[in-house]
A and B are shown apart, each in its own frame.
Chain A
Amino acid sequence: MKTFVGIDLGSTTTKAILLDENRDVIGRGITNSRSNYATAARVASEEARVDGRFTLFRRALTEAEGISVRLDDFLGALERAFRLEQFLEQLDDLQQTCIGLVQGDRFAGRESGVKEALAEVFTRLRAEAPELYAPGAKRKSDFFRDIAGSRYHTQAEEVARDASLPYELLLNVYDKSIIDVENRPPAGGLSEKFRRALARVLEADPQLQSARGDVLPVIERTLAVDLEETYLVGTGYGRVTLPFSKEHIRSEILCHGLGAHMMYPSTRTVLDIGGQDTKGIQVDAQGIVVNFQMNDRCAAGCGRYLGYIADEMNMGLHELGPLAMKSDRPARINSTCTVFAGAELRDRLSLGEKREDILAGLHRAIILRAISIISRSGGVTDEFTFTGGVAKNEAAVRELRKLIKENYGEVTININPESIYTGALGAAEFARRAHSGQIQGVEP
Chain B
Amino acid sequence: MAASLNGHSNGSGHGNGSASSAGAGTADIVARAQALFDDLSFTAARAWKDAGPDRKVVGYMPIYVPREVIHAAGFLPLGILGGGDQLEVIHGDAYYQSYICRIPRSTIELGVSGRLDFVDGMLFPSICDVIRNLSGMWKTMFPNVYVRYFDVPQNYRDDIGGNYYVNELSELMHDLGTLRGRPITDEELRASIAVYNENRRLVRALYDFRAERPWQVPAAEAYLILRAGLVLPVEEHTALIREYLAAAGAEERPKRDNCRVVVTGLFCEQPPLNLIKSLELAGCYVVDDDLLLVTRWLTEDVPLEGNPLQNLALAFLHHSESTAAKYEPNLKEKGQHLVRAVKRSGAEGVIFASPSFCDPALLDRPMLQHVLKDAGIPYIAFKYAENSGQMQPIREQAGTFADSIKLWSGT
Contacts and interface: CB of A to CB of B under 8 A. Distances in A.
Nearest to B93: A372
Contacts of A340: 390
B390 A344 contact: yes
Contacts of A375: 91, 93-94
B98 A407 contact: no
Contacts of A368: 88-90, 93
Nearest to A407: B90
B400 to A, nearest CB: 17
B85 interface: yes
A129 B227 CA distance: 73
A380 to B, nearest CB: 12
A334 B93 contact: no
Interface in B77-123: 85-86, 88-94, 97-99
A343 interface: yes
Contacts of B85: 332, 334
B391 interface: yes
Contact of A403 (B89, B90, B390, B393): B90
Interface residues of A, number: 24
A376 to B, nearest CB: 5
Given A368-B89, A407-B90, A343 B390 contact: yes
Which interface class (under 10, 10 to 19, 20 to 34, 35 or more) fits B?
20 to 34
A371 interface: yes
A298 B390 contact: no
Contacts of B97: 296-297
A375 B113 CA distance: 14
B307 interface: no
Contacts of B99: 297-298
A336 to B, nearest CB: 10
A206 B367 CA distance: 88
A276 to B, nearest CB: 15
Nearest to B388: A334
A372 B94 CA distance: 5
Interface string B381-399: 0000101111111000000
Interface string B314-326: 0000000000000
A298 B91 contact: no
Contact of A298 (B98, B387, B388): B98
A350 to B, nearest CB: 8
Contact of B88 (A332, A344, A346, A348): A332
A439 to B, nearest CB: 31
Interface in A290-319: 296-298, 300
B106 to A, nearest CB: 11
A372 B392 contact: no
B90 A372 contact: yes
A342 to B, nearest CB: 10
A360 to B, nearest CB: 14
B93 A335 contact: no
Given A368-B93, A375-B91, A407-B90, A296 B98 contact: yes
Interface in A176-201: none
Contacts of B94: 372-373, 375-376
Contacts of B86: 332
Contacts of A369: 93
B339 to A, nearest CB: 33
A406 to B, nearest CB: 8
A343 B91 contact: no
Contact of A333 (B389, B391, B392): B389
Contacts of B93: 368-369, 372, 375
Interface in A243-301: 296-298, 300
A158 interface: no
A407 B94 CA distance: 14
Contact of A347 (B91, B98, B387, B389): B389
Nearest to A297: B98
A334 B387 contact: yes
Contacts of A407: 90
A348 B388 CA distance: 13
Interface string B57-87: 0000000000000000000000000000110
A358 to B, nearest CB: 11
Contacts of B392: 343, 346-347, 350
Interface string A350-376: 100000000000000000110111011
A20 B339 CA distance: 78
B390 A300 contact: no
A256 to B, nearest CB: 20
B99 to A, nearest CB: 8
A346 B396 CA distance: 14
A335 B391 contact: no
Nearest to B91: A375
Interface string A364-400: 0000110111011000000000000000000000000
B101 to A, nearest CB: 14
Contacts of B387: 334-335
A438 to B, nearest CB: 34
Given A296-B98, A300-B98, A334-B387, A371 B393 contact: no
Interface in B365-410: 385, 387-393
Contact of B391 (A298, A346, A347, A403): A347
Contacts of A372: 89-94
Contact of B390 (A297, A332, A347, A371): A347
B389 A335 contact: yes
Interface in A318-336: 332-335
A234 to B, nearest CB: 31
Contacts of A348: 389-390
10 contacts: A296-B97, A298-B99, A332-B85, A343-B390, A347-B392, A368-B90, A371-B90, A375-B94, A376-B94, A403-B90
Of all A-B residue pairs in the complex, the 4 with the closest CB atoms, nearest first, are: A298-B98, A372-B93, A375-B94, A334-B389
Given A335-B387, A371-B90, A375-B91, 6 more contacts: A296-B98, A332-B85, A333-B389, A343-B393, A344-B389, A348-B390
